[in-house]
Chain A
Amino acid sequence: GQSLEQPSEVTAVEGAIVQINCTYQTSGFYGLSWYQQHDGGAPTFLSYNGLDGLEETGRFSSFLSRSDSYGYLLLQELQMKDSASYFCAGHDNYGQNFVFGPGTRLSVLP
């Protein structure tokens, strides 16, 4: 089976950089994706890492290290609208056992 762990809360100020970590324990791990969810809203896709290394999409970047069973989401130039919950998610090589992490609530302060 799969399990993913994330910090429950992170707080940062506008304009800062924040890193949200995700560690996983799984067999046959395939890749790591990241989703953002605002209160009362639906999850929206941010990024996917199928290979080790860094993926950059605007202010957001995501990193994966399979050897360390670890990934992170990096948010730069934080804005108030980035206050939301962030989830990592992954599955095995057969497209089964798809699991979301417990989510990290990011609060951006003025």
Chain B
Amino acid sequence: DTAVSQTPKYLVTQMGNDKSIKCEQNLGHDTMYWYKQDSKKFLKIMFSYNNKELIINETVPNRFSPKSPDKAHLNLHINSLELGDSAVYFCASSQGTLVEGGDEQFFGPGTRLTVL
């Protein structure tokens, strides 16, 4: 059984398009995250939700909007895609927030986004 799943695995699209990445976890965790990993392998947190509430919102362009319909799902919608958005996006989950055992996070397989 997949613990944290993301769809799609690959996403190739044109500049200016709008796209979404979906994430689901079946671990019963309360906290979910979105990360961006660039071509140099730098991992950067973008957002974190705890029980559907936004708790971490890093300096990310407004074109990125997370949505958590329930605590098992955290989707990422990106408007007006730019070349610089090309990266691998990882979803992750943890039992609690970062100060409540959230340092042990379970990552999804990643979505490789390529903007042409």
A interface vs B, CB < 8 Å?
Answer: 30-31, 33, 37, 41-45, 48, 50, 85, 87, 89, 91, 93-96, 98-100, 102-103
Among B13-21, B22-30, B40-48, B74-82, the one that faces the other chain is B40-48
Nearest Cβ on chain A to B92's Cβ, whole angstroms: 8
Q: Which of B91-112 contact A (CB under 8 A)?
A: 92, 97-100, 102-110
Contact B97 A45 (CB under 8 A): no
**Given known A95-B55, A98-B45, contact A45–B105 (CB-CB < 8 A):** yes
Q: Tell me the complex Cα distance, A100–B103, Å.
A: 11
Nearest Cβ on chain A to B52's Cβ, whole angstroms: 17
Contact B56 A96 (CB under 8 A): yes
Contact B99 A42 (CB under 8 A): no
**Given known A42-B107, A95-B55, contact A100–B43 (CB-CB < 8 A):** yes
In the complex, chain B residues whose CB is within 8 Å of the CB of A30: 98-99
Q: Tell me the complex Cα distance, A99–B59, Å.
A: 13
Q: Which 7 A-B pairs have the closest CB atoms?
A: A95-B98, A42-B107, A100-B43, A95-B99, A33-B103, A48-B103, A45-B104
Contact B104 A33 (CB under 8 A): yes
Q: Tell me the complex Cα distance, A83–B56, Å.
A: 32
Contact B104 A95 (CB under 8 A): no
Jot down 9 A-B pairs with beta carbons below 8 A, ordered by A: A30-B98, A30-B99, A43-B43, A45-B105, A48-B104, A95-B56, A95-B100, A102-B42, A103-B43
Q: Tell me the complex Cα distance, A17–B60, Å.
A: 40
Our pick among A98, A100, A102 for the contact of B98 (Cβ within 8 Å) is A98
